[in-house]
Structures are given as C-alpha cells and as structure tokens.
Structure 1
Amino acid sequence: MPLKQLTPANLSTQDLQDWCSVLNEMTSTDMPNEPRWQPERLRDYLAENMADEYRQAFIYRDESSGDMLGHANLLIFGGKHRDTGVLELFTRPSARGKGVGKALLQAVAECAKQRECENLAVEVIATTPAVGFYDQLGFRRDVVEQRHLLRWDEVDWDKVQEAAGRVAAGYRLEYYSESLPEELLEPYAQLKAYLRGSAEPIALTTDRRGSTDVDRLRDSLQTLRRRGMRSHVMVAISEPYEKVVGLTELVVSEQRPTRADQYDTVVAPEHKSYGLALTMKARLLTELRGAEPQLVDVQTWTAEDARDIKWVNSQLGFVHDVDWYEYETSVEDLLHNLAQ
C-alpha cells in the first residue's frame, strides 16, 4: 500500500527527513527564491496542536523504491470552526501527473468526512501548478491575498528607526517575545476580536487564524512555542487609561529561521489617526533586528483593497511579489469530483 495515514507524532525519523526533502524539492522547482525547510523540530511543527484541534498526516511512497513521492496533512479546528479543515499537500515535481496528489487528497477527504468535517480550505501560491490542480477538482477561489516581502538587506534602517521613534503623545509601546503578561491577555484578545468583526479591508482574510478568547489566546501562544515558533509582539498602550489600543505580531519558526511571518496588525478605531500602526511595526522591526540576527526577510499578506496597511508596509520597504489564493470546497463535493 503506497499511501499511509498516521498521526504526525508517529512519523519516523526517516519520514521526517523525507517530508522535508519533498518540501524543498517542490520549493526549488516552483519558488526557487524561497527559504528551504530545516528538519530541526519538524516533528513539533507538525504534531503540536491546540487542545481542541485534530491533525493527521498522510504519506505516499513509491511501492518499488520506497521513496516518498508526496505528503499531506489535515488540520481540523475546534470551537466554532470545527466544521472546517485546512489542507496542505505537496508532491515531488517528478511525481506530478501520476495520481499521487489525487490519492493523497482522496485520503484527506475521507478522513475529514469520518470526523464530520464539512469543508476543506487550502492556500495556493498563484504562480504554481497547484492552481490548475485545485481548479480542476472544483475548489472555489474565495480570497486573493497579496504577499509582500521585506528583504533585510534592502531595509532603510535610518528611515525605520525614525518611524519607530514617532510615538504620539499619550501612548507608549511595549515589546514582548514568546509570551504576554497575564494582565494583557484579556485586552489583547478584545482588540483582536475587533479585527475579526471589522468590515474594513485588513492584512488578514479569515478569522480561523488567531484567537479572540483569553483562554484560546493563552493556548495559542503556548502552542506556538511547542511548535518551535518564536512570537514577537509590539503593543500600544494609551497611557491615561492603561488600555491596549494597538498590536502587531511576528513569528519566526525554527523550521525556516531566515524568514519572519507577519501576523495581525490592528489599531482600535478611536486611535487610528495617531500613526500607531506604522510606529508599532517599525519598532518591532528594530527589536527583531537584534533578537533574530539570522533573518533574511519578513513576509506579510494583505487583502487586495487594504490601502491603509499597504501604505504602512510600503513606508517600511515591503514589496508585493506574488498573490496567494485561498480555495475552499465541501467535502462531499470533493469526494464526488474525485470519483469522476
């Protein structure tokens, strides 16, 4: 049997090495300028979840040689998003067109159905062959995100440091790495809840990401650490009331240590005219420069019409390089299309 399903924690050392090899071979072919994956703590990255989440791994090996030709993993959320699963699927370029991807997708869909998961979502880079693969199988392109990159060796640090120092009167910035003080968790979560309810275009496309409940936020930060991902957070405080009014987040993973991933950036609506978003992001970059000296770049994603955050990013030197598509389909429709 070439295809095997198992929990990520039960992947062997050889499985993990091969898993990394598939990722890097795909990256080398489809996105040669992207950083390569490292095997360090890969098991933690794949296996560690929040308490109410469920994850399964799927590997496909050549029956003759035993070589891993592709792999997939399925994450099913807990809480109000438990009807949705997120799929990641990768094959070696040499295995494309040979049924490996479809076999992995079939196994993922059947597992999702058994778990009473109704929908599957997947993110696809617009310039890769995966676009045609998911289009053919009936996935809907629900969201288009624009990725922007900030290349470390092109940063105008004088300009960034100047922006980092422009803190409006009545505010202060506080930097945290790895965790947040307990007293900040509730106001921090409340501010993220505003982001989820906002009708404005933002640097985020789905409220499945992040946590707007105190307990889930605490669990989320702990899970990041267990997965080998270091969080860096800048918080804006309104001093008269000691109220959290802005935040911006970055994460650096041990599996791809040369790249930082920008997460949420949000400012409470009544505080948006004071330049806090630019100041927070600039200050966080200056902190990151010392805390993560191995970095090569920072990536962030924005909605197509998110003009405000795009302007902030442009002031810091971020440049749009590629679009990402978020696809979704129902599990029943996918199983039907795979059977055709």
Structure 2
Amino acid sequence: MPLKQLVPSEMTADDIRDWCSVLNDMTAADMPAEPRWRTDRLRDYLVGTLPDDRRFAFLYRDDDGDLIGHASLIMFGGDQAGTGVVEMSTRPSARGHGVGKALLRAVAACAKAEGCRTLSVEVIATTPAVGFYDRVGFKRAVVEQRHLLRWADVDWEKIEQAAGRLAAGYRLEYHAGGVPERLLDTYAGVKANLRANADVAVVPEWRGSAQADRLRDSLATLERRGMRSHIVVALAEPFGHVVGLTELVVAAQRPTRADQYDTVVDPAHRSYGLAMSMKARLLTELRRAEPQLTDVQTWTIETADDVRWINSELGFVHDVDWYDYEADVDKLIERIERDA
C-alpha cells in the first residue's frame, strides 16, 4: 500500500526528513518567498499535542518509495471533542494523480472512526489548494488577512516610542517561555474573551481556555513542540491583574519567522491604547531575544478595522488572504466516494 497511517512518534528519521522535503517543495512552488522548514525538532513539532488531543500522520509513497504527499490530522478533546484540523501537502510533481484525494479519504475515514464530526483546514488564497478543497466539498467559513512585518523595514524609533506610550494606571511586563504562576488566573480570564467573541468554529483550547490548568498545559505543549513563547501583558494597578496580553512564538523548525498569535484586551480596559503599547513592546523584546528573525506574521479577519490600523502603524503590510474551510465528515466521505 502506498499510503500509511501512523502516529507521529512512530515516524522514522527518514520519514521526518522526507516530510520536511515535501513541505519545502510545495512551499518553493506555491509561495517561493516563504521561509523553508528545517528538520530541527520537527519530530517534536509533530508529536506534541495537548493531553486531550490526538494527532495522526498519513504518508503517501510512490512505487519507488519516495514520499510524494503527507497529511496530519489533529482531533481536539475537551470542550471541542468532535472537531479536527487537517494539514496536507503534496509534491508539485505529483499533483493531478489522485494523491491529495487519497490522503483526504484516509484522513476522513480516520476522523469518522475516532468520532470526529467536523474538519477544518487553512488554505492560502493564492495556491492551488483552494481549487482542490472547493472541489471536494469544503466550505469557506472565514477569510483572514495575513500581514507581514519585515524586520529590515522596521522603524525602530517609532516602535520604541509606541512601546513607551502607556496610559496611567497600567504597566507592561515581558515574559519569555511562559506566564508566571502569579498571573495565570487573570491571564486565562482575559484569554476567555477569544472564545466569547470567536468568529471561527474551532478555537483551539490553548487559545481560548479560561482555566489556568489548561493554559499551563498549552504553554508546556508549545515548549515541547520546539516553539519559543514571547508574551507581553498589561497589568492594572494597584493589584497587578492581567487586563491585556499579546503572544508570539518562534518555532525551531522555521526560526527566521515569528508567528503573532493573539492580542486581547479585557473589554473594561479598551480604548486606552494597550494593544498598541503591548505589541510595540513585544517587538522591542524580540529584537534582543531573537536576532535571527527576518519577519513577523499575523492574521486578522476582514472586519477587524481596529486591529488592522494598529498593525499598519507598526509597519505590518497585508500580503495574502487565508481561507478557513470546514466540512462535515460524513458529507466529505460521501463526496469523495461519489467523485472517485
């Protein structure tokens, strides 16, 4: 059988090397300006999940044993049991030969067997993946705009000034690698605003948890996956409670690019410029902590005018849209089999 399903911990060193090679071939063809993946800690990246989540890997090799496509399926546990996220890559030279459809058929069958009802996938709008997922029945749920801040173009004087503009009654703290125990409860409470205002069907537990223990697990999972966390929090005096936060990670597998995750301000403390101050402060800390960076990427939904304005002021530039697709597992299987 050319297609093999396994858990990432069972992958060999050759599997890991080939997995990276497929990713980079696809990247070179579809988005040549993107940074390439490295095998450094790639196994950790694939193996690491939250305690209640599960990941399966799918490898498709040709008759000569060369890996020409692969897929990953993460199935969430906890409050989001029944939902999963797919990541799939195919070598450009193998496209049009049914590799992607075979991988997706295997992913959907595994998801159904494990009780997963809904699958989602992120697709870069300028790549051939859009047509593929449209044809197999995925529906576009959300459009996100990716913005890039290129390190060589940063106006550091402007960033330093923005980081220093802080309303009276607040202070900022920077933390590398996680959140101190003394801040976990109020930090998690601010994070809960993500779930309450979610515009997507799947908000991973490490993003929207209002429970300190879940947040602790999520930060530990990022570290196990080789992803260095950088966090700035806004604290309200005199009690030092977290009322705002911004998060970013730098992955060992792509260390020249930072991924901005979430910037959240408690509703009672908005309109004080905290988001701008926190994001600017984080950039100044990154300049010292991650000197190898070449850019930072972040995403916003189309209606988030306030966030886009902040990003623009800091130097972020919109470069491409990303589509969040969703599919019902049963309907997906039916569609794939009907079109087989």
Which blocks of at least 5 consecutive residues in structure 2 are unaligned?
none
| 1:144 alignment partner in structure 2 | 143
| 2:257 alignment partner in structure 1 | 259
For 1:207, give the aligned amino acid. Answer: V
Q: Does 1:294 align with 2:292?
A: yes
SS of equivalent to 2:174: strand
For 1:127, give the aligned amino acid. Answer: T
Q: Does 1:311 align with 2:295?
A: no
**Matches of 2:212 and 2:18, distance apart in 1:** 38
Q: Does 1:207 align with 2:203?
A: yes
| 2:188 alignment partner in structure 1 | 189
User: Which residue, 334, 337, 340 being the options, matches 1:336?
Assistant: 334
For 2:165, give the aligned amino acid. Answer: R
1:166 and 1:279 in contact (8 A); partners too: yes
| 1:44 alignment partner in structure 2 | 44
| 1:89 alignment partner in structure 2 | 88
1:205 and 1:303 in contact (8 A); partners too: no
| 2:323 alignment partner in structure 1 | 325
| C-alpha displacement of 1:266 | 0.9
1:79-100 residue CA offsets vs partner (Å, 9 max, x unmatched): 1111101000000000001010
TM-score (norm 2): 0.97
**Matches of 2:204 and 2:179, distance apart in 1:** 21
1:275-301 residue CA offsets vs partner (Å, 9 max, x unmatched): 110000000000000000000000000
| C-alpha displacement of 1:170 | 1.1
| C-alpha displacement of 1:207 | 2.2
1:150 and 1:318 in contact (8 A); partners too: yes
1:15-73 residue CA offsets vs partner (Å, 9 max, x unmatched): 1100000000000000000000000000000011110101100000002x111000001
SS of equivalent to 1:174: strand
| 1:162 alignment partner in structure 2 | 161
Q: Does 1:18 align with 2:18?
A: yes
1:60 and 1:100 in contact (8 A); partners too: yes
SS of equivalent to 1:85: strand
1:143 and 1:205 in contact (8 A); partners too: no
2:35 and 2:254 in contact (8 A); partners too: yes
1:27 and 1:36 in contact (8 A); partners too: yes
Q: Which moved more, 1:189-198 or 1:49-58?
A: 189-198
| 1:269 alignment partner in structure 2 | 267
* Residues 38-117 of structure 1 aligned to structure 2 (within 5 Å): 38-63=38-63, 65-117=64-116
| 2:35 alignment partner in structure 1 | 35
**Matches of 2:194 and 2:113, distance apart in 1:** 33
SS of equivalent to 1:273: coil
1:101-136 residue CA offsets vs partner (Å, 9 max, x unmatched): 011001101100110100110000000000000000
For 1:12, give the aligned amino acid. Answer: T
SS of equivalent to 1:189: helix
* Residues 239-250 of structure 1 aligned to structure 2 (within 5 Å): 239-250=237-248
| C-alpha displacement of 1:205 | 7.7
| 2:215 alignment partner in structure 1 | 217
The change in CA–CA distance for 1:285 and 1:16 in structure 2 (over 3 A counts) is same
**Matches of 1:255 and 1:102, distance apart in 2:** 27
2:227 and 2:250 in contact (8 A); partners too: yes
User: Which residue, 257, 270, 277 being the options, matches 1:279?
Assistant: 277
**Matches of 1:135 and 1:205, distance apart in 2:** 18
**Matches of 2:270 and 2:309, distance apart in 1:** 14
**Matches of 2:141 and 2:72, distance apart in 1:** 21
SS of equivalent to 2:179: coil
Q: Which moved more, 1:239-248 or 1:150-159?
A: 239-248
The number of residues matched between the two structures is 336
**Matches of 1:240 and 1:215, distance apart in 2:** 25
**Matches of 1:15 and 1:207, distance apart in 2:** 30
| 1:177 alignment partner in structure 2 | 176
| C-alpha displacement of 1:208 | 2.4
SS of equivalent to 2:233: strand
The change in CA–CA distance for 1:297 and 1:205 in structure 2 (over 3 A counts) is farther
SS of equivalent to 1:293: coil
For 2:293, give the aligned amino acid. Answer: L
2:183 and 2:241 in contact (8 A); partners too: no
Which blocks of at least 5 consecutive residues in structure 1 are unaligned?
none
